[in-house]
Structure formats: C-alpha cells, structure tokens
Chain A
Amino acid sequence: GAVVSQHPSWVICKSGTSVKIECRSLDFQATTMFWYRQFPKQSLMLMATSNEGSKATYEQGVEKDKFLINHASLTLSTLTVTSAHPEDSSFYICSAGSGRGYNEQFFGPGTRLTVL
C-alpha cells in the first residue's frame, strides 16, 4: 500500500519551454501532496504543499508563477515548470500523506529535469 508514482521519470527540454510533472497516489486518496526539489548531494527542499481543491502553499523564495501546482483530484497533483531555464535543472520529487491521520509521507520516484 501507499504507492506514489511520478511521470515522467526524466525529461530534457529547451530553455523557455514549459514542463509538466504528474504525481499520483495509486492506492490511496491524498488530500495533501508535497513537492520537493533536490540538487545533487543535497537534502530535499520543500517547494510547496498541494491541497486538493485549493491553492497550493508555497515556501518562501519559491516563485509561484514559475512553479504552477494543481491538485485537481484526490489522487493527482501536477507541477508545471514554466519558461524553464538551465538553473531549474534538478530532481523533483513529490510525496503524499498516507491518509491514516499521521504525518507519514510516501515519496514518488522523482523526475530528473534537464534544461538545455
């Protein structure tokens, strides 16, 4: 149980284009999902908290107009990196709450984004 998938697993795009990353909870409903960014050999940095049916809560320093988050259903949240630039290249990971009333989070496999 508590399986989270992400798609795509990796993507290469040209500078200036937009990229959409999907995060799905496969066997449970997740009212809350989280988006993290991880640079090589560094820790996970929370970007935003995504709540189903409402606006995402962004961490300080994260541009909400650049990293668009949509959580349209209880099993799907999307992160769109708009007008991507090379400095946006990173490993993006989502997580979802287990829904059991505790703060367990289960992570997706991550998406490696490379912007040329």
Chain B
Amino acid sequence: GENVEQHPSTLSVQEGDSAVIKCTYSDSASNYFPWYKQELGKRPQLIIDIRSNVGEKKDQRIAVTLNKTAKHFSLHITETQPEDSAVYFCAASQDSGYSTLTFGKGTMLLVSP
C-alpha cells in the first residue's frame, strides 16, 4: 500500500517568512495529492491539491509543487501570518473513483508575531 512521509514534524517561523513542508510517497500509481490544515480540535480543511498532470499550483500565498519522478511534493506558504499556525497534513491517493487517502504524520507550523 501507499506510504507517505512528511517533514518536518514541527516548524517555527517568524511572521512574514516563508514555510516549506515536504512529503514523499511510495506508490507510483498515486496521482492526487491534497494538503489539509487542521486547527486544534477542529476538522481538517482542504487548502490546496494537485494532480499528477501538473507540476505546480498556486493559490494566493500557498503553492504546491509535485515531482512525480522523485515521488515528492511540497507545500509552500509565503508571507506567513500568525493565523497560519496549525497542523498541516499531506496526503496521497489514486484519483479514480473514491480511492482512500493516505496521510502523512503532520507538521505543526507555528508562526510567531
């Protein structure tokens, strides 16, 4: 089955800095890679996703890059703000029907004012 590794487990940055979270996956059949943000005690919220037919996707301050050859994808947050503080999860699945998502272990991002 799929295995997703996520690094780092914690990340502390100053407000305004950029933050990068990296994930690797094992199953070459995976072609859908979402990122979720989860605040304490709340539901995971989909913030951005990417499919294997593109190498990069951007939405305002967040972007995701995908390298299918190397089987890794990354989340980039620019101009971080304190409200970006949360746990971020990457995931991977096959984008066919309703394949299950395999999640990374999560990265706790702390943005200090």
List A residues at the B interface (Cβ < 8 Å).
Answer: 31-32, 34, 41-44, 46, 49, 93, 97, 102-110, 112
List B residues at the A interface (Cβ < 8 Å).
Answer: 32, 34, 36, 41-46, 49, 89, 93-106, 108
Residues of A within 8 A of B46 (CB): 104-106
Are B99 and A43 within 8 A (Cβ)?
no
Residues of A within 8 A of B100 (CB): 34, 46, 49
* Between-chain CB contacts (< 8 Å), 10 pairs: A32-B98, A34-B100, A44-B103, A46-B102, A103-B93, A103-B96, A103-B99, A106-B46, A107-B43, A110-B42
Are A102 and B95 within 8 A (Cβ)?
yes
Are B98 and A103 within 8 A (Cβ)?
yes
Residues of B within 8 A of A44 (CB): 44, 89, 103
What CA separation (Å) do A110 and B106 show in the bound complex? 17
Q: How far is the CB of B29 from chain A (nearest CB, A)?
A: 13
Chain A: which residue is nearest B95 at the CB level?
A103
Are A93 and B44 within 8 A (Cβ)?
yes
Are A46 and B43 within 8 A (Cβ)?
no
What CA separation (Å) do A93 and B43 show in the bound complex? 8
Chain A: which residue is nearest B98 at the CB level?
A32
Are A31 and B106 within 8 A (Cβ)?
no
What CA separation (Å) do A43 and B96 show in the bound complex? 23
What CA separation (Å) do A112 and B99 show in the bound complex? 26
Chain A: which residue is nearest B99 at the CB level?
A103
Residues of B within 8 A of A107 (CB): 36, 43-45
Query: Which residue of B43, B98, B102 has the most chain A CB atoms within 10 A of its CB atom?
Result: B98
Residues of A within 8 A of B101 (CB): 34, 46, 103, 105
